[in-house]
Amino acid sequence: MAKKAQAYPQVDPGAEGLVNMAIARVPAGARVAEALRVARARNAGVVTPGGTMWVLREDLARGARLGLEDLPAAALARPLPAVEAGETEVRVRRLLAAGAALVIVRDRRGPLGAVAPASGSDVGAALGPRFAQRLPEATREALVAIGRLAVAHGVRTFLAGGTVRDAMQEPGTSPAGRGSGGDLDIVVEGDGLALARALAGVLGAPPAGALVEHVRFLTASLTVPAVGRIDIATARSERYETRGALPRVMPSTIGQDLARRDFAINAMAVGLGSGNFELLDPLGGRNDLARRRLRVLHPLSFVEDPTRIFRAARYATRLGFAPDGWTARAQALALSLAPYPALSGQRIAAELELILGDARPDVVLRRLGRVGAFRLLDARYRFRPATAARLSALGAALDWAGSRGLRMAPLELGALAVLGDQPREVALSALARLGLSGEPLARAGRVLHGAPALARRLAAATRPSERARPLWDRADLELAWLWLIGEPPVRAAIEWFVAQARGARSALGGDDIVALGVARGVDVARVLAALRDARLDGTINDRDGEAVYVRDWIDGHITADQKGGMGWLRNSSS
């Protein structure tokens, strides 16, 4: 029988006592296929090619599945914390809780093994009212309704993605951009599509076209007026069979769903069933938020989905985060393996459209250019200082075009800014890869080809009509492009044309001119053009002056016609 007030020491097995995974050594130059054979033969979860390099068996299997058997195994090494055999259990548990995939245990002779986190546990710490207060009222109410509905249907639901990430940051630490969104990402352990159908009725979503189902990906989305778009997905794992291709998805647990995501800061979830908002953070996203760090979840993340390279640049810019060294190496590995035939250009275009909607597209695109991301469009692409300088003005060009009501797709102008100084065949190839075809592709080609000569013509013009004449039939895309690339005189000419000259019209219409004696046909268009030019140059200011101008033209035209020519008007209107 224990004595009263007797203290009994707790047994701490130490780090060595927690080891539950073997480590196998492989030669320093071992390839993925060889290292994977060794890991399987020795039932090891980790291999080491020496030093402090650790390669997980699951990463080797992923590499083999993606056709990278001949890649050096060391290319898949990831940073793992290491502790001495006598370190406490608490220390090991804290490292795992901070997001470490494994903890290496070693002694003076070398590694003894690894400690893997316990599987199957997804109980998180309750965030309570403080988390809820960081959400808009309509969002809080929607999440409570979703949680209650899930309980009634016998499924578990979680809020995940950007809403969790942004709410977990300290107020004022996350710069908001034009594209920072309020879409709710709901994950369901169970039938997400069935819950989405029920939710559409509970939240009062408009019935016509409000609920959109994507059966292949086990997802659905609906729009609620007070909240915005709500994406509901069955918790799923993903398996990539080909580099850059869309994955095969399978229903899974919330833990597996979080593990398939792009970055640790986006791999947190909040449980909705109890109303206490329990945080699940198995991969260390909260720690990365505190360190303002962007970190992928495995070394082949960018190889499986190269569009994550574009998202990395966008998140880094919007949030003010920096990729850690391992993430940068993983990105460089993915780009070294380009091209990606299975990666559709439309997926890259979708990422570029999101970038162009953010507050600083120029910064994001320069980041991508510096790391070589645009080689995913064409292997011959080369990022030059002139491109970086032009991208610096892209955000201002987009804002100017929007404020003036120019009708163009931001993607087209952004693509031209990225590709404008590439050889013509490279630029057209990349534009086609982005999905441009037919007239949009031909228009972009004309813009790139004709802009230099047009800019020179504008710079040399001395009269308003001379500046306006070559711009009348130009597409809005070309006007925005000239504004972007032009020197100050050219930019001023474009601004003047859009703000003033483009709307200039003669007081007399075609019927008026015919009534004054001009024969119907091409001469009417020539007279109207001449009147417009005279208005711009200030030589005519009212309707009466235009009528006098037309009568003089008729006299001049008859005289010139008798001499076998069109006279001064033909020359002035050319």
Indicate whether 569 pLDDT > 70: no
State the Cα–Cα distance between residues 559 and 294, nearest whole angstrom.
77
Q: Which of 301-315, 328-342, 516-530 has the lowest mean pLDDT?
A: 516-530
pLDDT at position 177: 39
pLDDT at position 121: 55
Indicate whether 566 pLDDT > 50: no
Give the pLDDT mean for 398-402.
Answer: 95
Q: Which of 87-101, 116-130, 182-196, 245-259 has the lowest mean pLDDT?
A: 116-130
Q: Are 467 and 537 in contact (CB under 8 A)?
A: no
Give the pLDDT mean for 244-267.
Answer: 94
Three-class DSSP category at 442: helix
Q: Which helix (DSSP H) or strand (DSSP E) does residue 501 occupy?
A: none
State the Cα–Cα distance between residues 6 and 430, nearest whole angstrom.
76
Average pLDDT in the chain: 88
pLDDT at position 183: 85
Cα 569 to the chain's mean position, in Å? 53
pLDDT at position 206: 57
Query: Using N-to-C axis directions, what is the helix angle for 438-460 and 424-433, rounded to 10°?
Result: 140
Q: Are 273 and 234 in contact (CB under 8 A)?
A: no
State the Cα–Cα distance between residues 454 and 442, nearest whole angstrom.
17
Find, among 48, 214, 140, the residue nearest to 57 by Cα: 48
State the Cα–Cα distance between residues 351 and 311, nearest whole angstrom.
7
Q: What is the DSSP letter of 428?
A: H
Instruction: Count other Cβ atoms within 10 Å, centred on residue 206.
Output: 12
Q: Which of 180-184, 221-225, 232-236, 431-435 has the lowest mean pLDDT?
A: 180-184
**What backbone torsions phi and psi does residue 21 show, to the nearest 5 degrees?**
-145, 135
Query: Strand 110-115 and strand 125-126: pairing?
Result: unpaired
Indicate whether 430 pLDDT > 80: yes
Structural domains in the chain, CATH included, are: 14-115 (3.10.580.10), 125-291 (3.30.460.10), 292-376 (1.10.110.30), 380-503 (1.10.3090.10), 510-572 (no CATH)
pLDDT at position 415: 96
Helices (H), 393-463: 394-403, 410-419, 424-433, 438-460
Instruction: Count other Cβ atoms within 10 Å, centred on residue 390.
Output: 20
* Beta pairing partners, 224: 228
Read off the pLDDT band of 120 (50, 70, 90): low
Indicate whether 60 pLDDT > 60: yes
pTM over 0.85: yes
- pLDDT tens-digit readout, 324-351: 999 999 999 999 999 999 999 999 999 9
If phi over 0 gives left and psi between -120 and 50 gives alpha, with beta otherwise, what is residue 249?
beta
pLDDT at position 304: 98
Percentage, residues of the chain above pLDDT 70: 90
State the Cα–Cα distance between residues 472 and 491, nearest whole angstrom.
16
Read off the pLDDT band of 554 (50, 70, 90): confident
Contacts of 322 by beta carbon, 8 Å cutoff, 6+ apart = 292, 293, 294, 316
Indicate whether 497 pLDDT > 70: yes
Query: Strand 82-84 and strand 103-107: pairing?
Result: parallel
- pLDDT tens-digit readout, 162-213: 999 999 887 655 544 333 446 899 999 998 888 988 888 777 655 544 788 8
* Beta pairing partners, 110: 107
Percentage, residues of the chain above pLDDT 90: 64
Instruction: Count other Cβ atoms within 10 Å, centred on residue 510.
Output: 14
Strands of 82-84's sheet in order across: 82-84, 103-107, 110-115
Q: Which of 76-90, 454-468, 500-514 has the lowest mean pLDDT?
A: 500-514
Q: What's the number of CA atoms in the CB half-sphere (13 Å) around residue 166?
A: 20
Q: Which residue has the higher pLDDT, 127 or 122?
A: 127
Indicate whether 489 pLDDT > 70: yes
